Chains A and B, each alone.
Chain A
């Protein structure tokens, strides 16, 4: 994997960030630096704040307090960041039409869109399905199309929220291969998952969240082989963190 990727959007830095919504604190006192390199993976039980952290890093949610910067700037244009949600919504048009739309919103000229859409379909191994209504594709195909749509804006950072949730092993493997390929091309991948096996297979570094706080962060081997906290040890042992 290319660990030398450089981006104007990176590093993404959280300094004592709190995020409250509806009277609840979702993230508390998050201090974290996400820099170029192999994928950063957020893990943790349901409700631990993984999705909120991803959305905040994408710039979709503003912190209630604390400070966030992208490449050192508090206000950064998010045009070179992209996110794939856990349940991506397909527009009611063909797979090709979805890519055309994303390319158009990314400012790609009309004459270029055809070529780029074909390239993206090929990248996610959906050639031949371009004309099919996107909502009629299988779950795995829709997820790959969603990643292709995100890549339409040639992001420097790609956020993925549980990209293989509820997919079968074959579809999961296809998505993981795609993530490796995207990461190897120099795009910084930041993803959330509750699947420890997937985290181990894909991550460069791991952030364990619980109840909105960071329990531990570490390089993948160190995280799995010699966890620093008791909570991490219990989580890796399959115990329920309550």
Chain B
């Protein structure tokens, strides 16, 4: 059995390095999820509410991209932001910003696909009323997103879960630099490779705790919202 007391010791003693890792992990994953939701939710709603040639291919593509391999995304972002890449002049490689972008790319299809399903179901319910009230396209999207907000929490959670658990892309584009781009998942990978299992397991338990806490908060928010908004 590995000794997993060291990570908890660091937690209890409020070790700045550990808090930096936890803080960066949360910041990167939450920012990526928010960014992905700003793109994925309207995109999913748009696909749900519009009929166009090739829509089926878009839907299949969105679903397929939910399983996008993180290392492929990491490689693509790396090539884009590397010095000789098309966006190399931005100087984002090995920064938290690059990690956010990589995670946002991974999370956007998940949020878009789940949003499309939610909005499509809601649209079946609302279609007649909206047609009778002559609601325009933009208003339809914004209203359905608002009225589907409690169901969409699940999409956000799925996205956050994917981002928080992800290591393949951020280790490529972030470089796992101590004190700068090291997150819980990259630290776990590093400590495991070094044989420092106690710290790796401890970090894993903390990561699980955070994911469970965020899920519980979202669930509570959803229940309260449904109770008060109907």
Which A residues form the contact surface with B (CB < 8 A)? Answer: 58, 60, 78-79, 82-83, 85, 88-94, 101-102, 105-106, 132-136, 150, 153
Contact = CB atoms under 8 A, between A and B. Distances in A.
B1 interface: no
Nearest to A132: B230
B3 interface: no
Contacts, number: 46
Given A58-B132, A78-B134, A89 B230 contact: no
Interface string B206-230: 0000000000000000000000111
User: Is the contact region of chain B dominated by helix, strand, or loop, or is it mixed?
Assistant: helix
Interface in B125-152: 125-126, 128-129, 131-135, 139, 143, 146-147, 150
Nearest to A91: B147
Contact of A89 (B125, B134, B135): B125
Contacts of B146: 92
A83 B125 CA distance: 16
Contacts of A106: 133
Contact of A92 (B134, B139, B229): B229
B213 to A, nearest CB: 27
A133 B139 contact: no
Contact of B132 (A60, A91, A136): A60
A83 B143 contact: no
Range of interface residues on chain B?
A: 10 to 19
Contacts of B128: 60, 85, 89
B125 A105 contact: no
A134 B143 contact: no
B230 A93 contact: yes
Nearest to B228: A133
B229 A133 contact: yes
B221 to A, nearest CB: 15
B229 A85 contact: no
A105 B134 contact: yes
Nearest to B149: A92
Contact of A91 (B134, B143, B150): B143
Given A89-B125, A89-B126, A91-B147, A134 B230 contact: yes
A195 to B, nearest CB: 22
Nearest to B127: A89
A82 B128 CA distance: 12
A88 B133 CA distance: 12
A132 B227 CA distance: 11
A21 B138 CA distance: 29
A92 B230 contact: yes
Given A60-B128, A92-B230, 9 more contacts: A60-B131, A78-B134, A83-B132, A85-B129, A92-B146, A101-B143, A105-B139, A106-B133, A133-B230
